[in-house]
Amino acid sequence: MNQQLLAKTFVELADNLVADFDLIDFLRLLTDRCVSMLDASAAGLLLADGDGKLRVMAASDEEVRLLELFQLQNDEGPCLECFSTGAPVIVPDLTREADRWPRFVTAAHRSGFGAVQALPMRLRAETVGALNLFRAAPGPFDAPDTLIAQALADVATISLLQQRSTQRSTALNEQLQTALNSRVLIEQAKGKLAERQSIDMERAFTALRGYARAHNRRLSDVARAFIDDSEPLPGLVT
């Protein structure tokens, strides 16, 4: 682990937790940094809804197959186990777990992943979600890296609370629901932009996010304006 990169990343994350920050934008940054720092091929953050179902809040890549792999873990897989036990689940070699999670292991293998870990997003006594890291090559995870991954999962949890305090809400489950809804909004905007521009979901996401950043706007505000056709948004829509 590169100490300088680590320090730089945490400063960058703290810098982005400004007043009125956009949660989805922030969590995408966090998953991107997981990939660049932690020898991971892909990363995702999942949050539980009111039914205890895990839903994707952010991923290091928005391609459909990766989102599928996260969603599949509502039936079986390390994230589900991590969420229900509140403890980290570390799987250095997925091929050994084919009996435990047959569908998940097949899907992960098809996406080119050989190892996976899931770390809990904990809030006091409650587990609210999980950080999921995939790596192409099987093999043991470095213990220091796992500690850093847990620290990043904790930062993700803090960002949820930060969001909560800026919105004056007093109830955690209401705040989680608002966070989940902001993800739904992004998915709707991705679909609309992807269809209109004939681009894939990842490019649609980065275009929305790029527009928001270039114009110093919140991603969710841009997404809503785009869906509602309430503004021209030059440069986003050609």
Partner 1 sequence: MRADSRSARIQVLVAEQAARRGAPVGVVDVCTAAVAALPVGGAGVSAMSRTAASHPLCSTDTISEQLEELQLTLGEGPCVDAFTHGAAVLSSDLLTGGLQDRWPVFADAALEAGARAVFALPLQIGAISPGVLDLYADVPTVLDAEQLADALAFADLATLLLLDARIDGTGAQAGAPPRDHGLEDLGGYRAEIDQATGILTVQLGVGIDEAFVRLRAHAYTQGRRLADVAADVVAHRLRFLPDSEPKRTDNGN
Contacting residues toward partner 1, per CB under 8 A = 49-53, 55-56, 64, 67, 71, 167, 169-174, 177-178, 181, 184-196, 201, 223-224, 227-228
Task: CB nearer to partner 1: give 4 or 170.
Answer: 170
Least separation, in Å, of the C-beta of 184 and partner 1?
4
Least separation, in Å, of the C-beta of 102 and partner 1?
20
- The order of strands in the sheet holding 89-91 is 54-59, 42-48, 126-135, 115-123, 89-91
Task: CB nearer to partner 1: give 111 or 150.
Answer: 111
Least separation, in Å, of the C-beta of 171 and partner 1?
5
Element (H, E) at 117: strand 115-123
- The token duo for 233 is 């948004």
Least separation, in Å, of the C-beta of 196 and partner 1?
5
Backbone dihedral angles phi then psi of residue 77, each to the nearest 5 degrees: 130, 175
Least separation, in Å, of the C-beta of 136 and partner 1?
22
Task: CB nearer to partner 1: give 54 or 90.
Answer: 54
Least separation, in Å, of the C-beta of 74 and partner 1?
9
Sequence-distant (6+) residues with CB within 8 A of 178 are 163, 167, 169
Q: 112-147: string of b/e by CB count within 10 Å (b at 16+)?
A: ebbbbbbbbbbbeeebbbbbbbbbeeeeebeeebbe
Task: CB nearer to partner 1: give 24 or 149.
Answer: 24
CA 135, CA 40: separation in Å to the nearest integer?
5
Task: CB nearer to partner 1: give 153 or 194.
Answer: 194
* 126-135/115-123 β-pairing: antiparallel
Task: CB nearer to partner 1: give 100 or 224.
Answer: 224
* 115-123/89-91 β-pairing: antiparallel
Q: Which residue, 125, 48, 36, 96, is CA-closest to 28? A: 36
